[in-house]
Chains A and B, each alone.
Chain A
């Protein structure tokens, strides 16, 4: 089964970091603790992988111990300004980090998916202005958030008739599909501008293991669909008595 979005099967910092794409985190370049090579990483082209490595290694050579003062999380955000996943632990040594492979999301190791993700990340790092370039986008765009007791899938679905919106789950996949119709009064040749998505769409999202499918809820307001996936409350550890054979 091919899914658009795969959720982490296992909760853990590594897989979460691999999926982490949020740009809403406040980005902050503290010039007092940054040397020049770090600031280079602000430039669009340096924000990709090459830039990351260069900036990182240069920073190491130049500043040596000073680099350690910046904690892992912050430096990851500043340098890998776009989406570089955050380091799992604060105290991790920089040296040992270099011996790690570039793809270090070993838990759900799937080389092609990681490659795809990495390419995605590289392309995102290149802030080319693509204004006016029409390229096919997935519709709808989906975000996945993790809350305290549930996962939340939000999709931007403006202008959907609820009669034509279908949200189903089956065998670990959440499928949303529907149709966005062209207004009847419009003719093909009467458009002066046509940028909105039209037609039938479908997205398929893999659910995480520990989701209570019975209690899933969805609501649609102001053009945003929110599907709440409550987590299964973790069972208490059970003591297994061990009998001794005398």
Chain B
């Protein structure tokens, strides 16, 4: 499993953002931070359910994709604070969210559903029908 190490909001890497224009002569835009969102995964009879905390991410900023058994979620956070705001006390930093998971074969990729509400992403990963336990009737000879 090449999953990222779970961790609570430790800045992983900084990604330079090509969309931020850098004006000549001025300071380069500060690098955007990337965080590993805290995630819950639990099992239900129908499959797996994944919850990820993505505070500040709206539907427009969320990208969720599955490719080659890898589920990747990327949430872009729009800063709403004016840039001239003075930080008096900071417990969290604002940054984007990125995390990816390896899906096992038993997940039905076609039926994955996701919902975002109040900054929490819920992804349903249903089990493929063939992965359901199948009862084999044993007949008496």
Contact = CB atoms under 8 A, between A and B. Distances in A.
Interface of A: 5, 7-8, 16, 19-28, 129-134, 137-138, 141-148, 151-152, 154, 156-160, 183, 185-187, 190-197, 220, 222-224, 226
Point out which of A134, A148, A191, A196 has the most chain B C-beta atoms below 10 A from its C-beta. A196
Contacts of B30: 24-27
Interface in B90-125: 90-94, 117-120
A21 B119 contact: no
A28 B27 contact: yes
A144 B51 contact: no
Is chain A's interface secondary structure helix, strand, loop, or mixed overall? loop
A22 B90 contact: yes
A80 to B, nearest CB: 16
A159 B117 contact: yes
Interface in B3-25: 5-8, 10
B73 interface: no
Is chain B's interface secondary structure helix, strand, loop, or mixed overall? loop
B21 to A, nearest CB: 15
Which 8 A-B pairs rank lowest in CB-CB distance, beginning with the nearest?
A223-B119, A22-B87, A159-B120, A158-B119, A141-B92, A223-B55, A195-B38, A144-B89
A56 to B, nearest CB: 24
25 contacts: A21-B90, A21-B91, A22-B87, A22-B90, A129-B10, A131-B6, A143-B90, A144-B87, A145-B85, A147-B84, A152-B85, A156-B92, A158-B53, A158-B54, A158-B120, A190-B42, A193-B6, A195-B40, A196-B39, A220-B118, A222-B56, A223-B54, A223-B119, A223-B120, A224-B119
Interface residues of B, number: 43
B7 A131 contact: yes
Given A131-B10, A132-B5, A24 B86 contact: no
B93 to A, nearest CB: 6
Given A190-B43, A193-B40, A196-B40, A142 B10 contact: no
A145 to B, nearest CB: 4
A13 to B, nearest CB: 11
Contact of A222 (B8, B82, B119): B119
Contacts of B40: 186, 191, 193-196
Point out which of B48, B81, B82 has the most chain A C-beta atoms below 10 A from its C-beta. B81
Interface in B43-83: 43-44, 48-49, 51, 53-58, 80-82
B55 A137 contact: no
Contact of A158 (B8, B41, B55): B55
B10 A130 contact: yes
